[in-house]
């Protein structure tokens, strides 16, 4: 009897602890909403999202985050141009062309690259890449949309590569065999059978890569240049949302409008990445069902 109670107790304990992620996620949402709401008694939502000037410490302060949103958008879009082809290409290479021995080396390379801390990428961008671009393109400042996109693209490449490689692994062998039997060569099989079959899995990889790029903080904080203006060229310095939060939160007095405005920026950021993650989740579920996989 005691043994049975103990078993029951342990099961309850595990059940309770298992929900910790949900609790933390909910907690994050509650904190962000609660700390963000007060700003909307000062600024209306449309003025907050669409306002073109972000001068949180001016007198009177202006809280328009449109330049920050555009900055995040442009640097992430630029990063996508780099990490999608490179990431998907590496996944295809790993899956189709690399033999056992190559894979044993290349997969760890991708994993190790993915584990390089963002501060290192930021430092690299700041001391190596930015001066290089500045010299090469004769710029007044090397910290700009272009340098940020390049560094973010480098960072997101291994993420895209490993998720896309997983997706390719789900494509049943029989698809490939059927294609070969019909006389297609390897490249035709790859582009006309395997890639379409893994299409939604690959798009999941792209979405998660995008999510990673938008949420990246230290790199953009160090490399983006920090000017809160809507960029007009790829050589303009910008201040993406994450950089604004990280750079300004330290100086914003707790409970001030600025403090609440930064929480509202974080809420907007959270909602975007949350939406991306949910979309990725939905796509991958449908995809697995389509290929007849249970999980």
Partner 1 sequence: MTKRDIIQKTGFTLLAMCMAANIVFLGMIVFFIASRGLPAISWEFLTQAPRNAMTQGGVAPAIVGTLYLTLGAVLVALPLGVACAIYLTEYSPKGWIVNLIRISVNNLAGVPSVVFGLFGLAIFVKKAGFGVSMLSGSLTLGILALPVIISASQEALIAVPQSIREASLALGATRWETIRRVVLPAALPGILTGVILSVGRVAGETAPILFTAAAFYVKGYPKSVLSEVMALPYHIYALMTEGTHPEIQTQIAYGSSLILLALVLSVSMLAIYIRQRYRRGYNA
Lookup: tokens for 182: 């019909």
Contact pattern from residue 34 through residue 73 relative to partner 1, giving x for each residue in contact according to CB under 8 A and a dash for the rest:
-x--------------------------------------
As measured in angstroms, the least distance from the Cβ of 54 to partner 1 is 17
Q: Indicate whether 208 belongs to the interface with partner 1 (CB under 8 A).
A: yes
Contact pattern from residue 151 through residue 180 relative to partner 1, giving x for each residue in contact according to CB under 8 A and a dash for the rest:
---x--xx--x-------------------
Binding segment for partner 1 (CB under 8 A), chosen from 47-55, 57-65, 79-87, 136-144, is: 79-87
User: Of these, 18, 140, 181, 233, which contacts partner 1 (CB under 8 A)?
Assistant: 18
Contact pattern from residue 227 through residue 246 relative to partner 1, giving x for each residue in contact according to CB under 8 A and a dash for the rest:
---------------x--xx
Distances (CA, A) of 288 to 61, 129, 168: 50, 40, 12
Q: Indicate whether 181 belongs to the interface with partner 1 (CB under 8 A).
A: no
Based on CB atoms, which residue is closest to partner 1, 43 or 126?
Answer: 126
As measured in angstroms, the least distance from the Cβ of 10 to partner 1 is 5
Q: Indicate whether 145 belongs to the interface with partner 1 (CB under 8 A).
A: no
Contact 113, 158 (CB under 8 A): yes
User: Of these, 77, 141, 218, 227, which contacts partner 1 (CB under 8 A)?
Assistant: 218
As measured in angstroms, the least distance from the Cβ of 178 to partner 1 is 18
Q: Indicate whether 113 belongs to the interface with partner 1 (CB under 8 A).
A: yes
As measured in angstroms, the least distance from the Cβ of 273 to partner 1 is 5
């Amino acid at each position: 009897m005691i043994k049975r109670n103990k078993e029951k107790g342990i099961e309850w304990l595990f059940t309770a602890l298992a929900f910790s992620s949900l609790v933390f996620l909910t907690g994050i949402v509650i904190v962000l909403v609660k700390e963000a709401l007060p700003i909307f008694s000062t600024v209306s939502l449309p003025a907050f999202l669409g306002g073109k000037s972000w001068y949180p410490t001016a007198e009177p302060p202006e809280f328009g985050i449109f330049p920050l949103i555009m900055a995040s958008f442009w640097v992430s879009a630029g990063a996508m141009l780099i990490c999608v082809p490179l990431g998907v290409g590496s996944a295809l290479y790993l899956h189709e062309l690399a033999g056992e021995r190559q894979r044993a080396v290349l997969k760890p390379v991708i994993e190790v690259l993915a584990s390089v801390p963002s501060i290192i990428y930021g430092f690299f961008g700041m001391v190596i890449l930015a001066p290089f671009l500045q010299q090469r393109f004769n710029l007044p400042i090397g910290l700009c949309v272009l340098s940020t996109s390049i560094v973010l693209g480098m960072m997101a490449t291994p993420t895209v590569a490993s998720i896309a490689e997983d997706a390719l692994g789900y494509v049943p062998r029989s698809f490939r065999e059927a294609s070969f039997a019909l006389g297609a060569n390897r490249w035709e099989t790859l582009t006309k059978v395997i890639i379409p079959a893994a299409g939604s899995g690959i798009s999941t990889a792209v979405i998660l890569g995008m999510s990673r790029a938008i949420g990246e903080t230290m790199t953009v904080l160090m490399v983006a240049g920090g000017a809160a203006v809507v960029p007009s060229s790829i050589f303009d310095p910008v201040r993406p949302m994450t950089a604004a939060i990280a750079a300004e939160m330290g100086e914003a007095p707790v409970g001030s409008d600025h403090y609440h405005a930064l929480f509202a920026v974080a809420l907007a950021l959270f909602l975007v990445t949350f939406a991306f993650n949910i979309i990725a989740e939905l796509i991958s579920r449908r995809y697995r069902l389509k290929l007849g996989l249970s999980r």
